[in-house]
Structure 1
Amino acid sequence: MHYPLVSIIVPFKNTANYLPECLDSILEQSYANFELIIVNDHSTDSSKAIVESYAKKDSRIFSYNTNGQGIIDALQFAYSKSKGTYVTRMDSDDIMVPNKLELMVTALQNTGNGHIALGQVSYFSKEGISNGYYSYEKWLNKLTRIGTNFSEIYKECVIPSPCWMVSRVDFDLCGGFNSNIYPEDYDLAFRFYQKKLKCIPCNQILHLWRDYDDRTSRTSKHYAENYFLDLKMSYFLKIDYHTDRNLVVWGAGKKGKQIAQKLIDQNISFNWICNNKKKIGKHIYGIEMQQFLLLNTLPNPQIIVTVANKDEQRFIRAFLHKLAFKAAEDYFFFC
């Protein structure tokens, strides 16, 4: 087996309580040919001292301070210092399982460029894991197990961050960390999708996600719901929307209204449907709400589904299936 260099990119800020466990999990990898590019994003705790103590003991660790501000600047700076044939990310509060790098490198070597190596993930927390996070973990791992992650990219981030690895060639093709759009991990997933990289199935847990109250994804405004929806709509209109088809929004709840407003703001015409008898015939933002049965007669529709209720989603999928509509081509679930 050939052992190409792997660049592990790690930004950190005030994670002193978790860094030793994270760094130990990296240094204990069964795959040894890696460089750890770790960048301090203005920490005010003992994080920097911890990293420097590890760097003195292991020549594979390269420690830097960023002159920028925030995780995106740190990622961009770290990548500029990297040299690996393969590229992956790591969060400074998470844990790698011992054979994570080995399995990912092997997967990429077996498939070649144009692919993303993935792993299943598992949350852990002293306080226990909420039903919402457990559901996300279960859903994401199901996609990863069969490599169909991109089929539901408009629901949530379908690339388990930071449990992915790609060749440097493919990473650069997708723009690397150059984008300044938040949430940065979801934006990167969309760029992988846009460049048609293929997900390599994986049936093993390779990464442990730590959850705690002041984790960045919980506290930063950059990970608020409106950022996610803006990102979804931007890439949908760029990648999958066809102007010669009849665009349809299914659902008039909070997300349906938000999407409708965004389409109106961009002067994009659409039909608005639902299966709620109380709303049919009413006008919202000047647009009449129509019955979902409109799809029986509307020529060549393309549907954004914004209904979150699981039972309703099953009904919608069954109805669209009867019409021979194809997922991720004719219809897209945004919830």
Structure 2
Amino acid sequence: MESALVSILIPFKNTSEYLNECLSSILNQSYTHWEVISVDDHSKDESLEIVEEFSRKDSRIKVLFNSGKGVIAALRTGYAESRGTLITRMDSDDMMTPNRLETMVVSLKKNGSGHVAVGQVKYFSSRGISNGYDRYEKWLNKLTAEGKNYDEIYKECVIPSPCWMVHRTDFENCGGFQPDRYPEDYDLTFRFYEKGLNVIPCEQVLLLWRDYDYRTSRTSELYAQNYFLDIKLHYFLKLDYVHTRPLVVWGAGNKGKKIAKSLLKKGIDFEWICDNPNKIGKNIYGKEMLSFQVLETMENSQSIITVANENAQREIRSYFQKKDMFHMADYFFFC
């Protein structure tokens, strides 16, 4: 495993401002047996020239052109040319800490196949980090430190796309980059979860995650909230929903309405509850809104929680705990 080749897949598009720092952080890795498969997704700036210059200086860096269009097609193009027994990904605007590859390789060597190595992250930005990103970083790193990332998988993507590593055999067993489903990193995380890849705890920051106004995750419609909800519901119905149990949706905000509308379209029966007295008794999409007290008349229900308020979430957890019902089995937080 000490000599295992690590394939680092890097799709890039119009990130000339950051590519030098990204690729330099890879050149500075303590673990040196790697290959970079960089894929140009039709850049219109100087990105390609920058990567080609790095490639001329170091033969471990290869440059390809996206045979299709978009991140998923670029990742497929790169993966098809990769040779490593270990697979990881990097975003062209981020940076690795010097020991990232070594830490992950050692973790996978120690734990073997059937595992995914992850690392903690640190956001940085020229303008400072918002409160929302700061909270996300702390939440994500706490999960990663304990290897309990899947415990909150329906809330948000719990494995950042630029900071994971798996055995090639496990990656292919999870379907690789085949599904055309965005956000692609969230979909891949769910497939790691589906195939039972165990998350290896990590207490080290291994990725410096750059934030800026025109980052793809901020600007592309493929990363809009509705896409996240579609993925959450898709995998919930596939992996955790028990169709013989009554299903309940909590909350009548935008997310609750989106989930309810999708369930109705799929012909899946459910009860819809909220604590807003102005909505209880009203019909939305032909479905009557009920008080949470209806739960007292239901046995063995499963609940999707779309209530975002943290105080309300704590009350909901307390309610279920008193009834000896369990998170990720009986109730699932979707926000």
Relative to the length of structure 2, the TM-score reads 0.98
1:315 aligns with 2:303: no
Query: Mapping of 1:71-150 within 5 angstroms?
Result: 71-150=71-150
> What amino acid sits opposite 1:201 in the alignment?
P
Q: What is the alpha-carbon distance in structure 2 between the residues aligned to residue 151 and residue 81 of structure 1?
A: 34
Letter of the 1:13 counterpart: K
Letter in 2 for 1:95: M
Within-5 A mapping of 1:40-51: 40-51=40-51
The separation in 1 between residues aligned to 2:126 and 2:47, in whole angstroms, is: 21
Deviation at 1:25, TM superposition (A): 0.2
2:103 maps to amino acid: L
Conserved? CA contact 1:155–1:334, under 8 Å: yes
1:68, distance to aligned residue in structure 2 (A): 1.2
Q: Specify the alignment match of 1:304 in structure 2.
A: 304
CA shift for structure 1 position 150: 0.8
Is the contact between residue 10 and residue 91 of structure 1 (CA under 8 Å) also seen in structure 2?
Answer: yes
Give the unaligned 5+ runs of structure 2.
none
Contact residue 296 and residue 323 of structure 1 kept, 8 A: no
1:229 corresponds to which residue?
229
Equivalent residue number for residue 180 of structure 1: 180
Aligned to 1:66: 66
**Counterpart mapping for 1:5-20 below 5 A:** 5-20=5-20
Quote the Cα distance in structure 2 between the aligned partners of 1:139 and 1:169: 30
Q: Distance in 2 between matches of 1:287 and 1:37?
A: 51
Percent of residue pairs bearing the same amino acid type: 61
Deviation at 1:77, TM superposition (A): 0.4
**Deviates most, 34-43 or 59-68:** 59-68
CA deviations over 1:64-118 (Å, ceiling 9, x no partner): 1122111111100000000111000000000000000000011111111111100
Q: How high is the TM-score relative to the length of structure 1?
A: 0.98
RMSD: 1.1
Aligned residue for 1:45, secondary structure, equals coil
Name the structure 1 match of 2:259. 259
| Corresponding residue pairs, total | 335
Equivalent in the alignment of 2:331? 331
Show the counterpart of 1:289. 289
Query: Match of 1:238?
Result: 238
Aligned-partner residue type, residue 204 of structure 1 = Q
Q: Name which of structure 1's ranges 253-262 and 86-95 shifts more when overlaid on structure 2.
A: 253-262
Gaps of 5+ in 1: none
Q: Secondary structure at the match of 1:308?
A: coil
Question: What secondary structure is seen at the aligned counterpart in 1 of 2:16?
Answer: coil
Q: Which residue of 2 aligns with 1:55?
A: 55
Could you tell me how far 1:4 is from its partner in structure 2? 0.6
Letter of the 1:293 counterpart: Q
